[in-house]
Amino acid sequence: MRGMVVAAQPEATEAGVEMLRQGGNAVDAAIACAFSQGVVDPQMCGIGGFGAMQICMPKRGVHTVLEFFARAPLSATPEMWADKFIGQSRDGFVFLLKDQSNDIGYGSVGTPGNVAGYTEALSRFGTMPLRPVMRPAIEQARRGVMVRPYMHYYWAIDHGGDGQVNVEDKLRFSETGRQVYFRANGTLKRPGDVLHNPDMKHTLERIAEGGAETFYRGEIARAIAADMAAQGGGITLEDLAAYRVREKAPCWGVYRGLRVASNPPPAGGGSLIELLHILGQFDLAALEHNGPEHLRVLAEAMKWMTIDKDAHMGDPDFVDVPLDRLLSSEHAAALAARIRAGEKASVPRAGEPKDPPDTTVVCVVDAEGNAVSLTHTLGIPSGVITPGLGFMYNGCMSGFDPRPGRAASIAPGKSRGSAMAPTMLFEDAAPCMVLGAPGGTYIVPALAQAISNVVDFGMSMAEAIAAPRIVALSDTIDVANRIPHGVTQALTEMGYPVARSYQSYAFGAPHGLLIRGGHCTGGADPQRDGMAMAA
């Protein structure tokens, strides 16, 4: 096995494979891929964003989680927006202010973490210098980037009456955005058009030369801070200089005898393991795949996971998370007994959740058996591009609750929690599955179904990821459009409200690698534009 990369963008996958072919390891490949993703999918992620990754290097005895979430400015206060609060978006993803200042513009930006995360991972666990790892991203920025179907789909989403700012308006917010993302006649570029962003190329070259130091304490930091000060943003030189990556141990569970490692709270790995533990109480392989009883069990397990997540899964720096109890076999057995008895869990919601589409992933396995799963994002794009720098900043401040005294309330330097769940499954000491997904609250259900499809139903990774999915994060079961109508009719007759998505590939977008007998295969969710590629 020479290694494999899977990512949601073909150009980024190729960048990762290039590192493996040059003799780099999985971390070198993942970071090359990550920098490239910020060029070829600049509203999904980038050097103005944040993320988390899981790294496993069995021969070195390394297995760790790096967290580099965006932080609220040090000048932020819990009550700074209390008088502007008007509610939440229907999916609960964004808190709404009267003036939308946390959704678009300089007030929406948190201190970025990706450059710190990428460079720390590379320096500690990679084998290649920063410059050659960044070369594919710089070359892509030099050549220009062709607009792909999913990029345009995301730009063109109409948020209608949900209170959020449309992405197209964010692309118009800055002078750079108007030059890069629009045609000469002022209309949004379309699939097949090419984006040219020389400022981004220049910024990447400066990072390749000066590393994270130039971004957080040097020339780029000074440009960021000056622009923020001039436009009323909160990020200062002090914010940038104070940024540090957090390192944590993975949290662990078991599914059908395979050990499961994922990212601990405030990330979504604990919820994923709880959901797998509940599903592990049922003989799913004996059920018709995506038949009425299979979907009933899936839906009820998801609802119980969601009830626990809403009640307990906060930032452990601020909330007491009873993780041992939630992941215990006794807790899973008790919930499974209620599902077997036909009890319907209730998860009231003001509105049906949507699929937050603004995140991306990369998974890598190399010839030495090293594995990386990385999820990174802008949260939502802010629209802000500092003149001369080329990259768009995150909009993470929209994820903080403007009401003081709550677990998600604003606090200086605070990280916003995330559903990100870079995940690995182990057979003995070596990873046998490496997965990740974008999709906000849909990440955990999407990954659980992909894992079950492989383990319980014997699917390949490509089949498991492409199979139709459901989610049940409220009292309604949401189904992809490829779930047969006869199945949804049976669920309706059981008393379940069912909502059918217009999308064939709905609810998150898992990407994954499967290692069997020294051979690696992969799958990229067809909802996005990506691919798996062997080195």
Confidence bin at 350 (pLDDT 50/70/90): very low
Mean pLDDT of 12-40: 98
CB-CB contact of 19 with 29 (8 Å):
yes
Is residue 401 predicted with pLDDT exceeding 90?
no
The alpha-helical segments, DSSP class H, found in 144-184 are: 149-155, 167-171, 175-181
Mean pLDDT of 340-359: 72
pLDDT of amino acid 91: 53
Residues in the chain: 535
Rounded CA-CA distance 443/417 in Å is 14
Write the pLDDT tens digit of every residue in 515-528.
998 899 999 999 88
The pLDDT > 70 percentage for the chain reads 95
Is residue 203 predicted with pLDDT exceeding 90?
yes
pLDDT of amino acid 474: 87
Confidence bin at 193 (pLDDT 50/70/90): very high
Which among 519, 505, 507 is positioned nearest to 448, based on CA atoms? 507
The secondary element (H helix, E strand) that includes residue 181 is helix 175-181
Mean pLDDT of 378-394: 96
Mean pLDDT of 195-212: 98
Catalytic residue, candidates 13, 119, 359, 375: 359
Confidence bin at 357 (pLDDT 50/70/90): low
> Poorest-confidence range of 18-27, 155-164, 280-289, 340-349?
155-164
pLDDT of amino acid 72: 94
CA quadruple 463, 451, 13, 11: dihedral positive or negative?
A: positive
Residues forming a β-bridge with 415: 71
pLDDT of amino acid 428: 86
- pLDDT, averaged across the chain: 93
The secondary element (H helix, E strand) that includes residue 170 is helix 167-171
Residue 487 in tokens? 């199945």
Backbone angles phi, psi at 531, to 5 degrees: -165, 160
Confidence bin at 302 (pLDDT 50/70/90): very high
Query: If one looks up domain 249-355+420-534 in CATH, what number appears?
Result: 3.60.20.40
Confidence bin at 94 (pLDDT 50/70/90): confident
Confidence bin at 495 (pLDDT 50/70/90): very high
pLDDT of amino acid 230: 98
Residue 331 in tokens? 């807790």
pLDDT of amino acid 161: 65
Confidence bin at 157 (pLDDT 50/70/90): confident
Side-chain half-sphere CA neighbours of 488 within 13 A: 18
Mean pLDDT of 182-211: 97
Report the DSSP pairing between strands 511-516 and 531-534: unpaired
Mean pLDDT of 305-323: 79
The secondary element (H helix, E strand) that includes residue 328 is none
State yes or no: is 492 an active-site residue. no
What Rg, from alpha-carbon coordinates, does the chain have? 22
> Poorest-confidence range of 280-294, 306-320, 472-486?
306-320
The pLDDT > 90 percentage for the chain reads 79
- Where do the structural domains in the chain lie, given as residue ranges? 249-355+420-534
pLDDT of amino acid 2: 80
Better-scored residue on pLDDT, 406 or 86? 86
Is residue 95 predicted with pLDDT exceeding 90?
no
Mean pLDDT of 290-300: 98
Is residue 464 predicted with pLDDT exceeding 60?
yes
